């Protein structure tokens, strides 16, 4: 089926290939208990200047996907297959030394916990300068000046002085700013942020998210934001990809996915999140059960054991037949992998809406 | 829903002037105190029977310390905790039994708060045995009933904590807290270690328990949405102080303290349109160190309305003109009671200001 | 940092004081009577009392301890009208056997241990860390298995076996190296080096195992750290990731053990190696003194060794501070 290799969203222009084109990416880890299929056939595209939010719970494969984009599975036991085309260049088959010259320069990454992601024994300035020197033939002094400039850009007060500080002397928010400075020091074309604000306080999270968004506007790079929190992507992403058990479950623009969600898992995520506005008496509607095993995933739709609506699909199809990611009729770019017919989905949504209002 | 505090005497828990300073010592041979972490610095609040009070705030605000002071896991430096009519502030450990029975705690980390070498049955039964409670149906039967109450299979009585998932372990912790039929449960970040879908299961469970068993809650969390969902009254803490307290409707729609505004504005919502509806406030920097908190109003160093008076005079937590009863705010220059989008965003972060000025100049 | 150093040094002095007391108590609790030994086979009671008096053994425990303690700072004088021995500060007493101050003997033997211990330490540290790093990088592969196997072999064999085997091969059979023991470096650096090759080699084989395993496990722990992933994500080469970012963090626990090993080695713990290769070091001195019940020498060697272990610990703490800014700036 051609849909496996056609990612959809982002302007479908046949003439020019998308800046980032991931096709049928698979990352499998052989273990004693069997093969862990962390990522199992994921495709998406991304243009420069755009942001993709990859959303999923723990074990959904979102972080493993991001490490594959950086080629960080090379040299490990992980088996990576599929294609990652960045600006026309295929990365999966790229040898390590060639991939290395892209890391940090063309593709760079911001990690979740800046305290553990920065080396405790080197100064913040030295770590940023090092990231610059790997890819640029410059003197130590020039690299250090660049580090100061970057720190200033990300809003570290007194950058001349703070450049000599160690990570533990920074506050949590400042460490993540330093991490961003390090990721952006070589003006990357693709920036991957893996849960960049999960370890931070809420007011600092807002600062950091806005900073990533504002910097993107200035640098014009492509950004992938990985998170478990649909709220985090709402304001910053253009497209959202929802992952479950290493696969795509729903994919579309922010508006499509958050305002017109089509997959019962996405419904579940949205309905289990308490809100700070709206009806306070609304009861949360959690998703029953827990995430699937990645070694022996459930047959058919991986979500079916937890799905409230599998009864709406005739003949128990959900348990045997894996739904493909198909276009939601009439949208063009909104895809969902679910056997429910559009009519049934509509009916369910009307019912839950009235149910919630009671 | 009543927005007023219950009249005096009805309070299950009364906290007044509660203070906890952790000394910082230094010295070559003899350690002398050179300062203190002002974790909690004189807070007052009350919780009525069956009520739930939320404590929200960012790291270092003292919310978790407060929880530990109420349950006497920490010894207060000053102040008073009256629980069920009894002053338990300095009750010696051997006389705490009665209070402990009615005052239970649920912890954040369901992995480390359960002894891995004990079966689930033992974990749930232990509080009963320690308190000489002998339910008519027997310990085992009662423990199995409790497991069923929290949504676990009673047949899993003989299993060990590591055989359960994070959400299930949190359920075990809840069953243990329920074993003594407490009047108040202090829940310290009970869902923050869990995945979104599991979070909702636990929140619903706690909500059912509260309604059915009439247990009062002090619910401590950094997630403002969860707190709004669970608690009738909410107190916002900043650097060891309560800066604002009100019923949830008032606090989330008509806050007066600038910090409450900033906090609410920072909460991300899973709605792409929300951004345009709500005010945008971006503070600069992080929370200052509680070792040497700012003079006067502690929020003044990050506040856009701060004036000289804020540095010299600490604002009392009082009902401001225009506030509903029970809505207390500690601010000299309060904001308008609205969270609607403003004509001009408040952006204090220098990096954001520069970037956004450049962007608007370019366009 | 200075405050930290002062605190560590004060603690070190306190520990040494405690060790002195304990050693002294053990010295007293021993059943044998040193005076009787010094007196010889034909010993009259009056002669015994004389000796007891000259050794100060007729005094109370506290008095003796005080004399000993005072001697550490101001020196002591021993003997009677006929023989007079001065023992300058810091005085650790005089040997019952040779009538020379213990410290003089110790200092005579010390260069041998210093050469043996430090030399071997340099080799086993470099080799152990190197092998351990290779093993960690090639985890589960042939190089790792070889390194781990080698390490296991090193732990299993005994010094006297390796030492004697080496002596047999290099000295007796192939005659590549000279048979004699220690030559001071000031006398003949060439002979010094040649004489120490085999003892070094023996110690290296024994200690290498520990350091290889320690480095391997410490490295593997560091490899799992987030900052190692960050280093790779920057585009650094794997050598740089391992040698700069990895080793810097992994070396910390190794330094602790290394400090203590070096301290005890130069304090005379390489007894077996010393005796196999006929090196007159502090270890051998200690063994001889036990055989002869030469108690001041036992006391002296114990204190001497303890001093080095304690000092090594202080040095380790300082090095820790240099490596880890979190310690330095705390």
Q: What is the mean pLDDT of residues B252-260?
A: 96
| CATH number of the structural domain spanning residue C176 | 1.10.3720.10
Interface contact B197-A268, CB threshold 8 A: yes
Residue B160 backbone dihedrals phi, psi, to 5 degrees: -105, 155
Half-sphere exposure of A310 (CA within 13 A, CB side): 19
Judging contacts by C-beta atoms under 8 Å, the chain A residues touching residue C231 are: 119
Judging contacts by C-beta atoms under 8 Å, the chain A residues touching residue B225 are: 273-276
Between CA C231 and CA A131 the distance in angstroms is 8
Q: Is the peptide bond before B261 cis (omega within 30 degrees of 0)?
A: no
The domain tally of chain B equals 1
Between CA A54 and CA C152 the distance in angstroms is 48
Judging contacts by C-beta atoms under 8 Å, the chain A residues touching residue C237 are: 100
* A82 in any annotated domain: no
Judgement on whether residues C189 and C294 belong to the same structural domain of the protein: yes
Q: What is the mean pLDDT of residues A334-354?
A: 86
Between CA A310 and CA A302 the distance in angstroms is 12
* B298 in any annotated domain: yes
- Residue A181 belongs to domain spanning: 115-187
Judging contacts by C-beta atoms under 8 Å, the chain B residues touching residue C3 are: 28
Distance between A313 CA and the closest CA of chain B, angstroms: 23
The domain tally of chain C equals 2
Say yes or no to pLDDT of C120 above 50.
Answer: yes
Judgement on whether residues C97 and C107 belong to the same structural domain of the protein: no
Give A145-188 pLDDT, tens digit per residue. 999 999 999 999 999 999 999 999 998 889 999 999 999 999 99
* B301 in any annotated domain: yes
- HEC secondary structure over chain B: CCCCCCCCCCEEEEEEEEEEEEEEEECCCCCEEEEEEEEEEEEEEEEECCCEEEEECCCCCCHHHHHHHHCCCCCCCEEEEEECCEECCCCCHHHCHHHHHHEEEECCCCCCCCCCCCCHHHHHHHHHHHCCCCCCCCHHHHHHHHHHHCCCCHHHHHCCHHHCCHHHHHHHHHHHHHCCCCCEEEEECCCCCCCHHHHHHHHHHHHHHHHHHCCEEEEEECCHHHHHHHCCEEEEEECCEEEEEEEHHHHHHCCCCHHHHHHHHHCCCCCCCHHHHECCEECCCCCCCCCCCCCCCCCHHHCCCCCHHHHHCCCCCECCCCCCCCCEECCCCCCCCCCECCCCCEECCHHHHHHHHHHHHHC
Between CA C213 and CA C262 the distance in angstroms is 18
- Residue B337 belongs to domain spanning: 256-363
* B328 in any annotated domain: yes
Judgement on whether residues C235 and C125 belong to the same structural domain of the protein: yes
In this complex, the chains that touch B, judged by 3 or more CB pairs closer than 8 A, are A, C
The answer to whether the CB of C153 falls within 8 A of the CB of C293 is no
Residue of B nearest to A232 (CA): B268
Residue of B24, B27, B29, B30 to mutate, interface with C, max C Cβ within 10 Å: B29
Residues 119-148 of A with CB under 8 A from C: 119-123, 130-131, 134-135
> Torsion angle, CA of B237/B243/B246/B251, rounded to 10 degrees?
-80
Between CA B315 and CA B110 the distance in angstroms is 39
* B303 in any annotated domain: yes
* A300 in any annotated domain: yes
Band of pLDDT at residue C282, cut at 50, 70 and 90: confident
Judgement on whether residues C9 and C86 belong to the same structural domain of the protein: yes
What mean pLDDT is reported for chain B? Answer: 90
* A144 in any annotated domain: yes
CA angle B134, B138, B139 (to 5 degrees): 75
Answer whether C10 touches B (CB < 8 Å). yes
What mean pLDDT is reported for chain C? Answer: 84
Between CA A286 and CA C240 the distance in angstroms is 47
Distance from the Cα of residue C9 to its chain's centroid: 19
Between CA A184 and CA A146 the distance in angstroms is 11
Between CA C32 and CA C42 the distance in angstroms is 17
Give B1-19 pLDDT, tens digit per residue. 343 444 445 789 999 999 9
Q: What is the mean pLDDT of residues C63-90?
A: 78
3-state helix, strand, coil in chain C (%, to 5): 75, 5, 20
Between CA A220 and CA A329 the distance in angstroms is 32
Judgement on whether residues C84 and C120 belong to the same structural domain of the protein: no
Between CA A19 and CA A222 the distance in angstroms is 8
Say yes or no to pLDDT of A356 above 50.
Answer: no
* A78 in any annotated domain: no
Residue of A119, A150, A189 to mutate, interface with C, max C Cβ within 10 Å: A119
* B289 in any annotated domain: yes
Answer whether B28 touches C (CB < 8 Å). yes
Distance between C312 CA and the closest CA of chain B, angstroms: 20
Answer whether A111 touches C (CB < 8 Å). yes
Say yes or no to pLDDT of A72 above 70.
Answer: yes
Name the 3-class secondary structure at A326. strand
Residue C249 backbone dihedrals phi, psi, to 5 degrees: -85, -35
Between CA A237 and CA A328 the distance in angstroms is 20
To the nearest 10 degrees (0 to 180), the angle between helices C295-323 and C2-29 is 160
Say yes or no to pLDDT of A118 above 90.
Answer: yes
DSSP-assigned states of every residue in C112-152 = HHHHHHHHHHHHHHHHHHHHHHHHHHTTTSHHHHHHHHHHH
Name the 3-class secondary structure at C157. coil
Q: What is the pLDDT of residue C122?
A: 93
Chains B–C, number of C-beta pairs less than 8 Å apart: 6
Judgement on whether residues C294 and C209 belong to the same structural domain of the protein: yes
Name the 3-class secondary structure at A44. strand
Judgement on whether residues C148 and C111 belong to the same structural domain of the protein: yes
* A248 in any annotated domain: no
* R_g (Cα) of chain A, nearest Å: 21
Give C238-268 pLDDT, tens digit per residue. 999 999 999 999 998 899 899 989 988 888 7
Half-sphere exposure of C162 (CA within 13 A, CB side): 19
The two three-digit tokens of residue A171, written as one number:
């506050």
Band of pLDDT at residue B257, cut at 50, 70 and 90: very high
* A67 in any annotated domain: no
How many Cβ atoms sit within 10 Å of the Cβ of residue B47? 25
Strand partners, A158: none
Strand B78-83's sheet: what is its strand order? B32-48, B11-26, B78-83, B86-87
* B262 in any annotated domain: yes
Final residue belonging to a domain, choices A187, A216, A251: A187
Answer whether A278 touches C (CB < 8 Å). no
Lowest mean pLDDT among A41-55, B177-191, C258-272: C258-272
Residue of A70, A78, A130, A132 to mutate, interface with C, max C Cβ within 10 Å: A130
Say yes or no to pLDDT of A12 above 80.
Answer: no
Answer whether A91 touches C (CB < 8 Å). no
pTM value surpassing 0.95: no
Strand B216-221's sheet: what is its strand order? B103-106, B184-188, B216-221, B52-56, B233-238, B241-247, B328-329
Judging contacts by C-beta atoms under 8 Å, the chain A residues touching residue C324 are: 120-121
Give B65-115 pLDDT, tens digit per residue. 999 999 989 999 999 999 998 899 888 877 887 788 899 999 887 778 888
The answer to whether the CB of B102 falls within 8 A of the CB of B183 is yes
- Residue C59 belongs to domain spanning: 2-101
Interface contact A72-C245, CB threshold 8 A: no
Q: Across chain C, how many H-helices and E-strands are there?
A: 15, 2
The domain tally of chain A equals 2
The answer to whether the CB of B321 falls within 8 A of the CB of B256 is no
Residues 297-356 of A with CB under 8 A from C: none
**CB-count exposure of residue A311 (10 Å: 0-12, 13-18, 19+):** exposed
Between CA B223 and CA B218 the distance in angstroms is 14
**CB-count exposure of residue C65 (10 Å: 0-12, 13-18, 19+):** middle
* R_g (Cα) of chain C, nearest Å: 24
Judgement on whether residues C42 and C108 belong to the same structural domain of the protein: no
Give B3-62 pLDDT, tens digit per residue. 344 444 578 999 999 999 999 887 666 677 888 899 999 999 999 999 999 999 998 899
- Better-scored residue on pLDDT, C27 or A354: C27
Residue of B nearest to A199 (CA): B59
* A76 in any annotated domain: no
> Torsion angle, CA of A144/A148/A150/A151, rounded to 10 degrees?
130
Say yes or no to pLDDT of A57 above 90.
Answer: no
Interface contact B195-A174, CB threshold 8 A: no
The answer to whether the CB of B79 falls within 8 A of the CB of B161 is no
Residues 217-256 of C with CB under 8 A from A: 225-227, 229-238, 245, 248-249
Final residue belonging to a domain, choices A163, A187, A211: A187
* B106 in any annotated domain: no
Half-sphere exposure of A269 (CA within 13 A, CB side): 28
Interface contact B58-A285, CB threshold 8 A: no
Final residue belonging to a domain, choices A187, A216, A238: A187
Between CA C110 and CA C264 the distance in angstroms is 12
């Amino acid at each position: 089926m051609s849909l496996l290799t056609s990612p959809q969203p982002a302007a479908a222009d046949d003439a020019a290939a998308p800046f980032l084109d991931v096709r049928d990416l698979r990352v499998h880890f052989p273990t004693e208990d069997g093969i862990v299929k962390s990522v199992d056939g994921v495709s998406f595209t991304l243009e420069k200047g755009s942001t993709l939010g990859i959303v999923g719970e723990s074990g959904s494969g979102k972080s493993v996907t991001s490490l594959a984009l950086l080629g960080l599975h090379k040299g490990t036991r992980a088996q990576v297959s599929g294609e990652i085309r960045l600006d026309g260049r295929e990365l999966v088959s790229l040898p390590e030394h060639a991939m290395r010259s892209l890391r940090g320069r063309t593709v760079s990454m911001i990690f979740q916990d800046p305290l553990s992601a920065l080396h405790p024994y080197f100064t913040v300035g030295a770590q940023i300068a090092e990231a610059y020197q790997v890819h640029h033939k410059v003197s130590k002094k020039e690299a250090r000046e660049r580090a100061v400039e970057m720190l200033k850009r990300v809003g570290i007060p007194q950058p001349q002085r703070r450049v000599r500080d160690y990570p533990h002397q920074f506050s949590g928010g400042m460490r993540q700013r330093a991490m961003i400075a390090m990721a952006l020091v070589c003006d990357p074309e693709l920036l991957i942020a893996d849960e960049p604000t999960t370890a931070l306080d809420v007011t600092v999270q807002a600062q950091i998210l806005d900073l990533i968004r504002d910097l993107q506007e200035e640098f014009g790079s492509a950004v992938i934001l990985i998170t478990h929190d649909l709220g985090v992507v709402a304001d910053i992403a253009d497209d959202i990809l929802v992952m479950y058990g290493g696969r795509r479950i729903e994919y579309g623009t922010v508006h499509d996915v958050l305002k017109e969600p089509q997959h019962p898992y996405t419904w579940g995520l949205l309905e289990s999140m308490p809100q700070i506005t709206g009806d306070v008496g609304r009861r949360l509607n959690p998703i029953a059960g827990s995430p699937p095993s990645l070694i022996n995933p459930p047959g058919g739709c991986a979500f079916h054991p937890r799905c409230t609506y599998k009864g709406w699909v005739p003949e128990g199809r959900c348990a045997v037949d894996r739904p493909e990611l198909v276009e939601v009729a009439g949208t063009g770019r909104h895809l969902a992998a679910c056997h429910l017919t559009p009519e049934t989905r509509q009916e369910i949504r009307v019912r839950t809406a009235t149910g919630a209002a009671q | 829903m009543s927005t007023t505090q219950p009249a005096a005497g009805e309070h299950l828990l009364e906290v007044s002037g509660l203070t906890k300073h952790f000394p910082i010592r230094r010295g070559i041979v003899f350690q002398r105190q050179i300062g203190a972490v002002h974790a909690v610095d004189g807070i007052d609040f009350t919780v009525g029977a069956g009520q739930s009070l939320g404590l929200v705030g960012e790291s270092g605000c003292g919310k978790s310390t407060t929880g530990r002071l109420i349950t006497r896991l920490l010894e207060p430096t000053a102040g008073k905790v009256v629980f069920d009519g009894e002053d338990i502030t300095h009750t010696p450990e051997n006389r705490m039994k009665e209070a402990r029975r009615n005052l239970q705690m649920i912890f954040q980390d369901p992995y480390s708060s359960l002894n891995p070498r004990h079966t689930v049955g033992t974990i749930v039964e232990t509080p009963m045995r320690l308190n000489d409670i002998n339910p008519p149906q027997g310990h085992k039967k009662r423990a199995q009933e409790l497991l069923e109450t929290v949504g676990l299979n009673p047949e899993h009585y003989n299993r060990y904590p590591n055989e359960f998932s994070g959400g299930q372990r949190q359920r075990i912790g809840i069953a243990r807290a329920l074993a003594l039929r407490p009047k108040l449960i202090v829940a310290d970040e009970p869902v923050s270690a869990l995945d979104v879908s599991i979070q909702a299961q636990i929140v619903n469970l706690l909500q059912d328990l509260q309604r059915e068993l009439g247990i009062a809650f002090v619910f401590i969390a950094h997630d403002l949405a969860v707190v709004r969902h669970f608690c009738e009254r909410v107190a916002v803490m900043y650097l060891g102080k309560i800066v604002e307290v009100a019923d949830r409707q008032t606090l989330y729609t008509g806050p007066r303290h600038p910090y409450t505004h900033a906090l609410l504005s920072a909460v991300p919502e899973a709605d792409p349109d929300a951004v345009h509806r709500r005010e945008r406030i971006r503070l600069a920097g992080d929370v200052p160190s509680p070792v040497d908190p700012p003079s006067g109003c502690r929020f003044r160093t990050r506040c856009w309305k701060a004036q000289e008076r804020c540095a010299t005079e600490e604002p009392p937590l009082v009902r401001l003109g225009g506030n509903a009863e029970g809505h207390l705010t500690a601010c000299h220059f309060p904001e308008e009671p609205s969270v609607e989008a403003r004509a001009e965003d408040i952006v204090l972060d220098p990096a954001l200001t520069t970037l956004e000025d450049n962007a608007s100049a370019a366009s | 940092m200075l405050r930290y150093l002062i605190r560590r040094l004060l603690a070190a002095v306190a520990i040494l004081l405690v060790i002195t007391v304990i050693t002294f108590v053990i010295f007293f609790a021993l059943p044998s009577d040193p005076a009787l030994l010094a007196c010889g086979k034909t010993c009259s009671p009056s002669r015994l009392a004389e000796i007891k008096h000259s050794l100060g053994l007729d005094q109370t425990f506290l008095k003796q301890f005080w004399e000993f303690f005072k001697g550490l700072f101001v020196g002591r004088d021993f003997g009677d009208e006929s023989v007079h021995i001065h023992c300058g500060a810091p005085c650790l007493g005089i040997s019952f056997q040779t009538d020379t101050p213990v410290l003089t003997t110790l200092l005579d033997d010390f260069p041998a241990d210093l050469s043996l211990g430090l030399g071997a330490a340099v080799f086993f540290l470099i080799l152990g860390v190197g092998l351990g790093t290779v093993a960690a990088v090639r985890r589960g592969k042939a190089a790792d298995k070889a390194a781990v196997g080698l390490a296991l072999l090193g732990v299993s064999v005994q010094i006297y076996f390796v030492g004697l085997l080496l002596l047999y091969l290099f000295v007796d059979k192939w005659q590549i190296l000279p048979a004699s023991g220690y030559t001071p470096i000031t006398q003949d650096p060439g002979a010094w080096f040649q004489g120490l090759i085999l003892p070094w080699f023996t110690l290296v084989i024994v200690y290498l195992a520990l350091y290889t395993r320690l480095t391997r496990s410490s490295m593997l722990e560091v490899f799992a750290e987030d900052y190692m992933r960050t280093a790779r994500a920057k585009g650094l080469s794997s050598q740089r990731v391992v040698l700069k970012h990895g080793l810097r963090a992994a070396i910390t626990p190794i330094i602790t053990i290394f400090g203590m090993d070096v301290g005890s080695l130069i304090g005379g713990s390489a007894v077996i190696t010393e005796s196999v290769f006929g090196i007159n070091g502090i270890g051998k001195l200690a063994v001889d003194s036990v055989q002869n019940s030469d108690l001041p020498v036992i006391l002296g060697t114990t204190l001497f060794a303890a001093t080095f272990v304690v000092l090594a610990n202080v040095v380790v703490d300082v090095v820790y501070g240099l490596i880890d800014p979190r310690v330095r700036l705390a």
